[in-house]
Amino acid sequence: MRVWFLSAGLALMCMAQNAAAGTVLIVGDSISAGFGLDTSKGWVALLQQRLKQEGFDDKVVNASISGDTSAGGLARLPAALAEHKPDVVVIELGGNDGLRGQPPAQLQQNLASMIDQSKAGGAKVLLLGMQLPPNYGPRYTTAFAEVYGALAKEKNVPLVPFFLEGVGGHPELMQADQLHPAVGAQGKLLENVWPTLKPLL
């Protein structure tokens, strides 16, 4: 009888662990897709390793595409939500919108729709903020950067104010194009995200 109770207890523990396991969906552009890198060394792959090290059973799904804009992410999101049914959606988009000079208001509208759809699907949302190089002019760069803070406040979602904090503007941490983080920067990107992401797991 004692053996039976032990076996039943172990089975219930396993069921509880499986029920607790979730999915983290990353919807981003080239920075999260690992452009120019061995993807196994990108920050998203490092995130999966960190989850395991910290005792989380969550699975990371990387739905990032190099060159993607917020409009592209918005178009792809419904299928990704339906397929993966994520518990957490990390949105890392906007850089390409800015580099193409697209209106910040359009970026805000697209990201807002992504947040709303993710929440409607039962997921928590983490927004990763971006900033543009100063050569785009103070008026545009300020309006662009303010999109993320305004959205985080309006939609009540956690925000990493600048995903490339400590990386952007440091040539030794960037690839030759000075747009994409190098291998040596991937751990820093993870550290920028982890403190805000962990409470959502």
- Band (pLDDT 50/70/90 cuts) for residue 20 is low
- Band (pLDDT 50/70/90 cuts) for residue 17 is very low
| Buried-exposed string 91-123: b where 16+ CB fall within 10 A, e elsewhere | bbbbbbbbeeebebeebbbbbbebbebbeebeb
pLDDT in tens, 58-95: 999 999 999 999 999 999 999 999 999 999 999 999 99
Q: Which of 67, 89, 66 is nearest to 78 (CA)?
A: 89
Percent of the chain at pLDDT > 70 equals 90
- Please say whether the beta carbons of 172 and 184 come within 8 A: yes
| Residues near 123 by beta carbon (within 8 Å), at least 6 away in sequence | 25, 81, 86, 87, 88, 89
Q: Note the pTM of the prediction, 2 decimals.
A: 0.90
Does residue 25 sit in helix, strand or coil?
Answer: strand
pLDDT in tens, 23-33: 999 999 999 99
Q: Which of 32, 68, 97, 180 is catalytic?
A: 180
pLDDT in tens, 130-169: 999 899 999 999 999 999 999 999 999 999 999 999 999 8
Token duo for residue 54? 């910290």
Q: Which of 29, 30, 68, 118 is catalytic?
A: 30
For residue 170, indicate whether it is catalytic.
Answer: no
pLDDT in tens, 90-139: 999 999 999 999 999 999 999 999 999 999 999 999 999 999 989 999 99
- How far separated are the first and last CA of the chain, in Å rounded? 37
For residue 68, indicate whether it is catalytic.
Answer: no
Phi, psi of 23 (to 5 degrees): -125, 130
Phi, psi of 168 (to 5 degrees): -60, 135
